[in-house]
Amino acid sequence: MFKFEVLKADGKARRGRLYTPHGVIETPVFMPVGTQGTVKAMIHKLLEDIGTQIILGNTYHLYLRPGLEVIESAGGLHNFIGWKKPILTDSGGFQVFSLARDRLKDGRSKVKVEEDGVYFKDHLAGDTHFFTPEFVIKAQEIFGSDIIMPLDECVEYPTTYAYAKSALERTLRWLDRSIKAKTREDQVLFGIVQGAFFEDLRRESALRTMERDLFGYAIGGLSVGEPKEIMIEMAQLVCEELPWEKPRYLMGVGMPEDLLMAIGVGVDMFDCVAPTRMARTGTLFTSQGKLNIRKEIYKKDFSPPDPECDCYTCQNFSRAYLRHLFHAEEISAYILNTIHNLHFYHRLMEGARRAIEEGNFDSYRKGWLERLSVAVG
């Protein structure tokens, strides 16, 4: 039912294939974020046209809206949202711990971590909720997502060694409770490697998580404000420890250049809100660099957003028209920009897979990094 195979390698970069009950995923792969059961400014038909293989849902948000009872009554998340391909759901841990950055009016944190789990005040009504490792697994079993994640303790940057070590240990204890709580055979659980930005803790977390012999492994706690060179350094040393034959998922990353660098150190799977969020603010990723469609210089520019792109947006509309839609606050501006950005990410991953197969990933990466460093305007 589930299987992962590495088909080809070019240095540390891997070309793989992940089999799930809802379809086969070619890796490296970028997973669009469908936080609440939908990718923002998109419908599933548009995602399918792009070639999207898998989307990501979020336990925290789906638990709050529409709630577990609704999704269970619908027969699971695939049925509820009408998506027939694979789904990965994260535990909601990152969302919960990100609430800790916000404070109540009296200065107290919105989050309280205990050994049993984590208390938090939701961002909608301010009600107090309690997530345990067992509850998070139960929620994801109700969802019926193909790949599920355990509750972990995500650490901010910077942090102390002592706190990073404590979070590492708690994450492992919560992982053991998650493994024990899991009952469904038609889902696979990934372990999450923590350890913050300390090399010895990252290696320790990787090795001890591997002892659980899970289907795959995620690298958590990165892209939380650290310099990019540190992020890639941490991802590389974790990949050096993880088993070759199992999939590796770098959580919450990233920008196109981040994906290319991480593929080069051995990562297979990615997710990030960047392409959809930036589309809604008027930033387009192109073969010529990042393009800010809001600018005045595009008012009478009737060329396509990216002359090298074959997406629906670039084949049919001009920069001038997209700028007009954006400034007119038309919903179609967000849709067309998002189609382009997700298509760009899909083609970037498609090209990476082909480059690994042909043994020229390094030149492929270098070429794209040069292009991506340019700001078109």
pLDDT tens, position by position, 246-300 = 999 999 998 999 999 999 999 999 999 999 999 999 999 999 999 999 999 999 9
242: exposed, middle or buried (C-beta count within 10 Å: 0-12, 13-18, 19+)? buried
User: Strand order of the sheet with strand 118-121?
Assistant: 111-113, 118-121, 128-131
Give residues with Cβ within 8 angstroms of 49, minimum separation 6.
Answer: 312
Q: What pLDDT is attached to residue 214?
A: 98
To 10 degrees, the CA torsion angle through 23, 146, 141, 126? -120
Q: What number of CA atoms fall less than 13 Å from residue 167's CA on the CB side?
A: 27
Predicted confidence band of residue 123 (pLDDT cuts 50, 70, 90): confident
Mean pLDDT of all residues belonging to the chain: 95
pLDDT given for residue 143 in this prediction: 98
Q: What is the pLDDT of residue 93?
A: 80
Q: Per-residue pLDDT for 310 more than 60?
A: yes
Catalytic residues: 90, 271
b vs e for 327-349, b when ≥16 Cβ sit within 10 Å of the residue's Cβ? eeeeeebbbbbbbbbbbbbbbbb
Mean pLDDT of 152-180: 96
Instruction: Specify the pLDDT at position 291.
Output: 96
Q: Where are the beta strands (DSSP E) in 28-173?
A: 29-32, 55-58, 87-90, 111-113, 118-121, 128-131, 147-148
Residue 289: per-residue pLDDT: 94
pLDDT at 376: 72
Sign of the C-alpha dihedral computed for residues 33, 25, 241 and 368 taken in this order: negative
On the 0-12 / 13-18 / 19+ scale of CB atoms within 10 A, 150 is: buried
Sorting pLDDT into bands at 50, 70 and 90, what band is 205?
very high
- Average pLDDT (87-102) is 82
CA distance 222 to 242: 17
The pair of three-digit structure tokens given for residue 215, joined into one six-digit string:
């289907």
What average pLDDT score do residues 85-92 get?
95
Residue 103: the pLDDT is 58
Residues in the chain: 377
Round to whole Å and give the CA distance between 261 and 236.
Answer: 10
According to DSSP, the residues that pair with 82 across neighbouring strands are none
Question: For position 107, what pLDDT does the model report?
Answer: 56
| pLDDT band at residue 374 using 50, 70 and 90 as cut-offs | confident
| 349 has a pLDDT exceeding 70 | yes
